[in-house]
A and B are shown apart, each in its own frame.
Chain A
């Protein structure tokens, strides 16, 4: 996680308390007459994009709206792939970190997805359609992660990106070794407290995972061989996901800053035979871009953010561009619900710092994070057959003047700026009505309470001492005999 410093910026850009939820259902949509940023094959001007059954059906300059199609006039506007945020902590209930252990691999973000989190809607309003929702960075090995589509209004079970590889968060450096905060009085500092300890914690966990896997493999083998009366090993919810990492069934997304710790993790991963899928933040990645490329990992970084703690002092805004030049698949992420509303601008910064081309800049928040998350066959560019996850901007998204007009996921409109604006008055009215209703009920209650009080005060009432209601003790029944 980034530091707390930016949280203040989260101030109410959207003051409205609740937002119309749910997608507008339409099977066939034609977005007309826009500049289409395909990412994979350039920009096409005055072009249209046809959506059918949630997929991109055609892109071209001579498309006609089929019968019954909904037409979106995007004259003068820019259509780009939905933005993919490779590092997000939105939509999580009950804590982003399971901080009680240095290996919290048993904790699963999918268990605690909160589809009612307003940040989903706010990020949609910034053109973001996919988020890699990660456990926090409190632990050397953090919790299990999940890639979601920002299907605002749908239940938690419909948020995960179907078929996307599950992940797990690792974290190196100051956060897992708890450099920047002290535990409360009476609680001892936990292990690890150094970078060496972080490495050891990861190695230890994988030694255990390897043993655990071996135990299961032996059991399965003996069982397959027909051996009877075998007591199965226990399942271990902490080690299961690490075995999946060893088996290549779960991506590792490693929070990191410094070059030395990045190289360390590359070595540890090699020792245990797994690959780190992405180095997250990777602020000193520019120093060891070649090593990262050689390891097969991608890098997901900030645009221009540094010096908020010791390990961030060597960060430079050229990082994304420099790593890109050396062949690293680079994305720019938000790590922050507010920043996820303008990742297009974050991407554009790499044009100023490092001179990336416009298309390479756009890739930082579309195709590249899609590759890093293993979902580039489905999203990340505007190509026929891919999911119709689309952001429509009024200007070039790399311009600071660009504002999202509509955001679509699976060919359904999940955010529409005009609908939002025109709906606000009704929501304000509903809110006021409910406040009035509540106030009236409270006033009525007060009045009736006062009436009760007056009744109690009547002078001619004698007070009897309360009797025990327990006839078993009082024996009154027998008395009547």
Chain B
């Protein structure tokens, strides 16, 4: 007994020192708006996605990364412990195409130039072939979402509170609007948010209108074909020029060529829009012709052409904005059978994809908030999508498609500590998200004000019990 006490004392000395140090550190960290870098969620049901579910285990977070996960892992003494009893831990969810953090109008540069390009030449030009950067209206591939992040976007908190820790934010406007960035939904400065700045090269096939070239779908496709042709020309021509500067005329500078060439060099994924089956097959064909590593976005009529998509090994970002009867639909004009079939079957696309072996993820596509996202995910589950496949699509597969699968999407040591802790199955509409970790930063999720009952225990109470437990370790 005495020995034990002594041993306890001896053990306690460094711990006391540590606690003092920790208190000092925490104080200073708090002064900087900081928080402890170590957390442990214990006794929780853990769904790592990368492996089997752990019915009761611990996840340890250290300095923004997942340090350990398992049924019995050592909890570092400095960790704040959250009792996860009755809670389930998932990897943070990923919304693969949004404008979160971005001005939704698009920058000035993206505005289509009315009457630009060689189409509206005011007078015939002699002899020469007219080609210069003015030939690329509606192209701003150098815009990178990461450079335009505004941290006051209310959607950041709203998405995060629902368990979305990561989104692809992509510029809009024009044919080559820019490059999408993978961002984590937390940070003090815009730069803190960015996981991968140049993640996707965005393509829109919507013609600009304004009576300039291109004003039709076929014109837009031709326009993009010229861009990819020019890029591959540049890739071929530039090395020859670099080696023969004294013998060759210099190459004209073209920002689009250089930026797109660099993006292709980096194997950046090219996002092509394709929602109905005709567009999907067209998208596959164009991706093949242009020799780009493409992912399609939209994909809602994919249930018709899943085999072709699987054969092309092209991933699809599925829009969760399922087709619906328009709210202002004229009751006297019934929709066509084709439209009705589409509305009926679109939510079955993810299930069909899963069966056919198409890799897919989801995106919110302008849905107003997470409530609608989960409502529409539920429709996909009701149409046969297995919950574990849905979860994979929202985490690991999303991360993989966006080129960040090595850092996000699962609960494994070394991954970025993006976690959702909920009081039940994430797809159950009764389930509440309790905690969210983004880059190892802890966020407590308050229940929606209107649903709070008086006397609900405050989220901090769980941390109080954590504190008690930490103290218990030291005894």
**Which A residues fall within an 8 A CB radius of B?**
16-18, 92-102, 104, 106-109, 111-112, 114-116, 135, 143, 155-157, 183-184, 186-188, 190-191, 200-201, 204, 207-208, 211-212, 229-232, 234-239, 427, 430-431, 434-435, 437-438, 442, 456, 460-473, 475-481
Contacts and interface: CB of A to CB of B under 8 A. Distances in A.
Interface string B371-390: 00000000000000000000
Contact of A186 (B29, B114, B129, B436): B114
Contacts of B291: none
A99 to B, nearest CB: 5
Interface stretch (B174-182, B412-420, B445-453): B445-453
Interface in B218-240: 218-223, 225-226, 229-230, 233, 236-237, 240
Given A157-B281, A435-B334, A191 B124 contact: yes
B396 to A, nearest CB: 25
B218 A94 contact: yes
A188 B120 contact: yes
Most chain B beta-carbon contacts within 10 A, residue among A184, A200, A232, A237: A237
Contacts of B150: none
Given A18-B336, A183-B211, A208-B129, A469 B160 contact: yes
A92 B338 CA distance: 18
A465 B447 CA distance: 11
Contacts, number: 248
Contacts of A111: 217-218, 221-222, 282, 286
Nearest to B137: A100
A184 B445 CA distance: 53
B247 A472 contact: no
Contacts of B454: 460-462
Contacts of A237: 222, 225-226, 229
19 contacts: A17-B339, A18-B337, A95-B215, A99-B215, A101-B119, A111-B218, A111-B221, A116-B278, A156-B282, A191-B124, A229-B247, A231-B237, A236-B131, A431-B334, A442-B325, A463-B449, A472-B35, A478-B35, A479-B460
Nearest to B36: A477
Given A98-B213, A232-B236, A472 B188 contact: yes
Contacts of A18: 336-338, 341
Given A187-B115, A438-B340, A98 B215 contact: yes
B226 A106 contact: yes
Contacts of B240: 229-231
Nearest to B211: A187
Contact of A100 (B219, B278, B334): B219
B216 to A, nearest CB: 3
B218 A235 contact: no
A472 B325 contact: no
A184 B157 CA distance: 44
B336 A17 contact: yes
Contacts of B160: 469
B55 interface: no
B34 interface: yes
B337 A99 contact: no
A132 to B, nearest CB: 16
B463 interface: yes
Contacts of A230: 240
A100 B445 CA distance: 52
B142 interface: no
A187 B116 CA distance: 11
Most chain B beta-carbon contacts within 10 A, residue among A102, A157, A201, A464: A464
Nearest to B27: A478
Given A94-B220, A106-B219, 14 more contacts: A102-B119, A107-B214, A108-B218, A135-B218, A155-B305, A191-B121, A229-B243, A232-B237, A235-B233, A435-B340, A438-B343, A470-B157, A471-B444, A472-B188
A14 to B, nearest CB: 11
Interface of A is mostly: loop
B80 A477 contact: yes
Contacts of A109: 218
A231 B238 CA distance: 8
A100 B213 contact: yes
Contacts of B30: 475, 477-479
A188 to B, nearest CB: 7
B167 to A, nearest CB: 16
A157 B450 contact: no
Contact of A231 (B205, B215, B248): B248
Contact of A201 (B124, B305, B446): B124
Interface in B272-319: 276-279, 281-282, 285-286, 305
Contacts of B406: none
Given A111-B221, A463-B450, A471 B35 contact: yes
Contact of A236 (B129, B305, B464): B129
Contact of B120 (A100, A464, A469): A100
On chain B, which size bracket covers the interface? 35 or more
B3 interface: no
B29 A478 contact: yes
Contacts of B23: 481
Contacts of A95: 207, 215-219
B117 interface: yes
Interface string B165-204: 0000000000000000000001010000000000000000
Contacts of B35: 471-472, 475, 477-478
Most chain B beta-carbon contacts within 10 A, residue among A98, A184, A188, A207: A98
Contacts of B225: 106, 237
Nearest to A445: B375
Which 10 pairs from chain A and chain B are nearest by CB? Answer: A94-B217, A101-B119, A95-B216, A100-B213, A478-B30, A17-B337, A98-B219, A106-B222, A17-B336, A434-B340
B281 to A, nearest CB: 5
B127 interface: yes
Given A201-B124, A229-B244, A463-B449, A469 B215 contact: no
Interface in B106-150: 114-115, 117-125, 127, 129, 131
A104 B213 CA distance: 9
B264 to A, nearest CB: 17
B247 to A, nearest CB: 7
Nearest to A456: B450
A80 B279 CA distance: 35
A296 B118 CA distance: 33
A212 B278 CA distance: 35
Contacts of B223: 106
Contacts of B446: 464, 466-467, 469
A478 B337 contact: no
B442 A471 contact: yes
A229 B246 CA distance: 12
A197 to B, nearest CB: 8
Nearest to B216: A95
Given A101-B120, A480-B467, A471 B449 contact: no
Interface in B428-459: 436, 441-446, 449-450, 452-454
Nearest to A111: B221
A431 B216 CA distance: 33
B27 to A, nearest CB: 7
Given A236-B129, A237-B222, A478-B30, A99 B450 contact: no
A381 B349 CA distance: 45
A227 B453 CA distance: 83
A152 to B, nearest CB: 13
Contacts of A211: 127, 129
